[in-house]
Chains A and B, each alone.
Chain A
Amino acid sequence: EVQLVQSGAEVKKPGESLKISCKGSGYSFTNYWIAWVRQMPGKGLEWMGIIYPGDSDTRYSPSFQGQVTISADNSINTAYLQWSSLKASDTAMYYCASARSISAAGYDYWGQGTLVTVSS
Chain B
Amino acid sequence: QSVLTQPPSVSGAPGQRVTISCTGSSSNIGAGYHVHWYQQLPGTAPKLLIYDSNNRPSGVPDRFSGSKSGTSASLAITGLQGEDEGDYYCQSYDSSLSAPFGGGTKLTVL
Chain A interface (Cβ < 8 Å from any Cβ of B): 35, 37, 44-47, 50, 59-62, 95, 97, 102-108, 110-113
Contacts and interface: CB of A to CB of B under 8 A. Distances in A.
Interface of B: 2, 33-34, 36, 38, 40, 45-48, 50-52, 57, 87, 89, 91, 93, 96-104
Nearest to A111: B45
Contact of B99 (A50, A110, A113): A50
A112 to B, nearest CB: 6
A102 B95 CA distance: 12
A103 B45 contact: no
A59 B97 contact: yes
Nearest to A108: B48
Contacts of A108: 48, 51, 57
Nearest to A96: B45
A103 B47 contact: no
Contact of B96 (A62, A95, A106): A62
A105 B38 CA distance: 12
Contacts of A110: 45-47
Contact of A105 (B51, B101, B102, B103): B51
Contact of A107 (B2, B34, B48, B104): B48
A103 B27 CA distance: 13
A45 B100 CA distance: 9
Contacts of B48: 106-108
A30 B62 CA distance: 32
B91 A95 contact: no
Identify which of A50, A62, A110 gathers the most chain B CB atoms within 10 Å of its CB.
A110
Nearest to A65: B98
Nearest to B49: A106
18 contacts: A45-B46, A45-B104, A47-B101, A95-B45, A95-B46, A102-B99, A103-B34, A103-B93, A104-B51, A105-B51, A106-B36, A106-B38, A106-B50, A106-B51, A106-B52, A107-B48, A108-B51, A110-B45
